[in-house]
Structure 1
Amino acid sequence: MSNFKRYDKYKDSGIEWIGKIPEGWKVEPLKRIVKLIQTGRTPTTKNEDYFNGEIQWFTPGDFLEDKVLRESKRKISSIAIIDNEARLFPKKTIIVVGIGATVGKVAILGIDGSFNQQITGIIADEQKVNSDYLYYWLHANQEVIKNISNYTTLPIINNESLKNFECLLMPLSEQREIVNFLDQKTAEIDDLIADKEKLIELLQEKRQAVITEAVTKGLNLNVKMKDSGIEWIGDIPEGWKVTKLKYACIESAIYGLNEPSESYTEDGIRLIRATDINKLGNLDSKMQGVFIPIEKERKNILKTGDILVSRSGSLGISLYFDEDKYGKCTYASYLVKFRANKYNYSRYLFYFTKSESFYSQIKIALVTSTISNFNGQKYANMRLPLPPLDEQISIANFLDQKTAEIDSLVSEIQEQIQKLKEYRQALIFEAVTGKIDVRDYAAVS
């Protein structure tokens, strides 16, 4: 933050996690500077008239990275408000997630709206504190709020704790200057992040296009082509054939273990779930693995080269299993397993599950279905463009190299995004705690 000047004089705030503050600032608990701190409600589901109305009704799932919330996934009716089944809060209400994994997450209502009992609304006394400034103050201190929450099964922050949560105050004119500065700087950072996220999206599209081209057209641009007879595959090299996925496998569409969460243990054999797999086809490092006693699943332990495909939820998401990388594992019931026979190369079959040809067949099959669920046989009967074994190996090796190059670029951009998010958060904290003086920023810029 060396680009910004500091205030001339500081004093001790008396609060360890804030430290020193500008001399003219003071500390006040929220209850002295707000008009209302109140939790939302969920209307009874026994009355259908309370739902699908015109009033935005927010839940923690609606909180993304936006400062202002205007649109909720679910709506309630004015009848729910009239019957006191829900509360209507005015525009500019600050809303804080008070229970669950995202406790402390904060936003500000961009419209009159309502929310459920997991969210607490705070209406500022605008004669004492600017609503936007209060939003930034709470946003800067999400971790502090989380740390003072009570833990049982889930973290919970009660209204009394929020009422006593301390806030730094300065003159209203200075609050507005801080808000204007942060609105401008965070918008600039958000634009940079959006540009980088778009670049990632384009790289991921390129990744799939490279895979699709290789597993349907091969690597030789001059090879003679023939009609595959299947619209979503198109022409294929003359020496290739089209077969069903199950005919390339020694084990096809083998269902995983239906194990209740109560039987999970701290050690044993890892049970891979569909939610553990990321879009690239690896186990997601952000997901904490679950384990079951090894004696429960001795017969279906995965081998290197096995391919797992999700049949529910994120349909088609797939994993190439590598025992050296993941250790001994089995898999859960929403996944099906394919194991290549000796005439085919498992890495090639895996790359087929990452191609547009694979996903096109899922989309076509879902046209007549009302739920996002796929049985194993639908996967087993998918049409697969299949070259000779040596060409499968060459294609897989080529794709290993090309996807690694793209994945490395994506990883670098993701690190840049993370650093921008950290800088954004630090900038908000520095501004609302007076570590930097932004009063003259608008005049200078």
Structure 2
Amino acid sequence: MTSVPALGEIPSHWTVERAKWLLNRRRRDVRLEDGIVTAFRDGQVTLRENRRTEGFTNAIHEIGYQGIRKGDLVVHGMDGFAGAIGVSDSDGKASPVVHTYVANQNVDVRYVTYVLRTMAMSGYVTTLAKGIRERSTAFDAPTLANVQLPVPPLTEQRRIADFLDAETVRVNAVSQHFRRLVDLVQARVQAVVDAAFAEYEAESRVPVSTVCRAIVDCVNKTAPTSPETTPYKMVRTSNIRNGEVDLTDTFCVEKEIFTEWNRRGTPRLGDILFTREAPLGQAGMLCSDEKVFLGQRIMLYRANESRIRKEILLFNFLSSHMNRQLRLLGAGSLHEHMRVGDGLKLQVFCPPLDQQDALAKQIEEGRDASLRLSALAQRQIALLSERRQALITAAVTGQFDVSTASGRNVTEGVNV
């Protein structure tokens, strides 16, 4: 048996080759009709308009852009470590941050893509690449050229790619059903909140600035993070979702940075954190007394509980009433970002104080069952993702013969 870095042992009749002998780099001119192609972290490479257009920064002059053709292998130089590697399904153009290849006659480009994504998801690409920014690496063309890849006979590569194409489609289809369920659950949660606020007239709405003891907006640049684990953590927009602030995936910083970045006010237990960009409109309550500070594009609202309970303030941010205000800020469509000044003008429902505890309890009871269902659905999505990657890893390393295996029982180490 031969061993390959990051993949382990492969069958003895397979060979190992450096990527530069299997892939031919292409630098094509851009055509007038070319739209922008994006390599997404889930492995899809497609025209940006086929997925979404919000959240991107468009170049004014498009200096260095290159042509992409359907069937090209596209590797994102900065996000390749996270899986932004795939075969383009579209003709178009892409920024110079990506590099593009066609496979030689002895290689099935789909098979190579599965191998490279497996290496990326295992963390191997991160160990190779040059650091550019936190949680991103420069997986450039010279680095890729020297990566060692397992190479089965071409007919076997095609069988593996065909098998994985079929199996991943099945897994992805099931995952999509669970994602729809999560979306429906979130819509139901919002409906519960809206129903609770429905009895209050427009006169009960007040500017959020009148019911808060403090409003803090993060206008800092990106904080330098610590390579060591410290008790001082940075909350990012990705930590704020569906009424919660999840601190399980945060960056650590040194005490000096924590102190400097909190000079405008330290987040406290019970504060409501709201994302004003990337994405706009997520809110969550800080339910931990850990030492944290705000990352970019986050606003903090601290309820004045002599006016409004913190739970009622949170539910305001989860309501469709808040969504309508954000749409108005975007002149009829959900805006990509909200200015700090507009964050002071948002209107919230403020029922009589003696009714708020009962109202909060009513909403919590209505949300609980839905949130449990959402958690179960998200767990299933995670398990399906593990299963899909287990299938891919087993296939591209020859752990089973895809010509006879269905793949449905290749779940060693995956709890399904």
Specify the TM-score bucket, using the shorter chain as the normaliser.
Answer: 0.7 to 0.9
For the pair 1:139 / 2:117, whether they are aligned, the reply is yes
Which amino acid in 2 is paired with 1:98? Answer: G
For the pair 1:94 / 2:73, whether they are aligned, the reply is yes
Specify which of 141, 144, 151 is matched with residue 159 of structure 1.
141
CA distance in 2, matches of 1:160, 1:31: 9
For the pair 1:286 / 2:249, whether they are aligned, the reply is yes
Aligned to 1:130: 108
Contact 1:93 1:123 in 2 (8 A): yes
Specify which of 411, 427, 432 is matched with residue 396 of structure 2.
432
Aligned to 2:198: 216
Aligned to 1:58: 37
* Offset at residue 171 of structure 1 (A): 2.9
**1:138-217 mapped onto 2 (5 Å cutoff):** 138-142=116-120, 143=122, 144-151=124-131, 155-217=137-199
Q: Deviations over 1:210-269 (max 9, x none)?
A: 11111223xxxxxxxx8x3x4xxxxxxxxxx624145862636x3446444468889797
Contact 2:240 2:274 in 1 (8 A): no
Q: Highest Rg: 1 or 2?
A: 1
* Offset at residue 184 of structure 1 (A): 0.7
- Bigger drift between 420-429 and 375-384 goes to 375-384
Q: What are structure 2's unaligned runs of at least 5 residues?
A: 407-416
* Offset at residue 104 of structure 1 (A): 5.6
CA distance in 1, matches of 2:239, 2:245: 8
Which amino acid in 1 is paired with 2:245? Answer: N
Contact 1:103 1:157 in 2 (8 A): no
Which amino acid in 1 is paired with 2:16? Answer: V
Residues 382 and 67 of structure 1, relative CA distance in 2, 3 Å threshold: closer
Contact 1:57 1:75 in 2 (8 A): no
Residues 315 and 163 of structure 1, relative CA distance in 2, 3 Å threshold: closer
Residues 245 and 425 of structure 1, relative CA distance in 2, 3 Å threshold: same
Contact 2:267 2:300 in 1 (8 A): no
Contact 2:37 2:68 in 1 (8 A): no
Specify which of 242, 251, 257 is matched with residue 213 of structure 2.
251
Q: What are structure 1's unaligned runs of at least 5 residues?
A: 1-11, 44-49, 218-225, 231-240
Residues 148 and 396 of structure 1, relative CA distance in 2, 3 Å threshold: same
Which amino acid in 1 is paired with 2:100? Answer: G
Instruction: Output the TM-score relative to the length of structure 1.
Output: 0.73
Specify which of 321, 340, 358 is matched with residue 357 of structure 1.
321
Corresponding residue SS for 2:34: strand
Residues 416 and 92 of structure 1, relative CA distance in 2, 3 Å threshold: same
Corresponding residue SS for 2:382: helix
* Offset at residue 421 of structure 1 (A): 1.0
Residues 27 and 209 of structure 1, relative CA distance in 2, 3 Å threshold: same
CA distance in 2, matches of 1:296, 1:107: 38
Corresponding residue SS for 1:167: strand
Residues 110 and 317 of structure 1, relative CA distance in 2, 3 Å threshold: closer
Which amino acid in 2 is paired with 1:145? Answer: V
Specify which of 346, 371, 395 is matched with residue 407 of structure 1.
371
Q: Deviations over 1:322-372 (max 9, x none)?
A: 4xx133556578525342242542212221221112222332354389874
CA distance in 1, matches of 2:372, 2:183: 14
CA distance in 2, matches of 1:378, 1:299: 16
Q: Deviations over 1:162-212 (max 9, x none)?
A: 233223233322222222111110000000111111100001111111111
- Bigger drift between 206-215 and 96-105 goes to 96-105
CA distance in 2, matches of 1:66, 1:100: 11
Specify which of 284, 290, 295 is matched with residue 327 of structure 1.
290
Q: Deviations over 1:32-67 (max 9, x none)?
A: 333x135x69x9xxxxxx89x4214435xx414244
Residues 425 and 360 of structure 1, relative CA distance in 2, 3 Å threshold: same
Corresponding residue SS for 1:55: coil
Aligned to 1:30: 19
CA distance in 1, matches of 2:219, 2:131: 30
For the pair 1:118 / 2:81, whether they are aligned, the reply is no
Aligned to 2:2: 13
* Offset at residue 309 of structure 1 (A): 4.0
Corresponding residue SS for 2:402: coil
Residues 311 and 299 of structure 1, relative CA distance in 2, 3 Å threshold: closer
Contact 1:255 1:376 in 2 (8 A): no
What count of residue pairs does the alignment treat as equivalent?
A: 389
Which amino acid in 2 is paired with 1:351? Answer: F
Corresponding residue SS for 1:107: strand
Contact 1:244 1:384 in 2 (8 A): yes
Q: CA RMSD in A?
A: 3.9
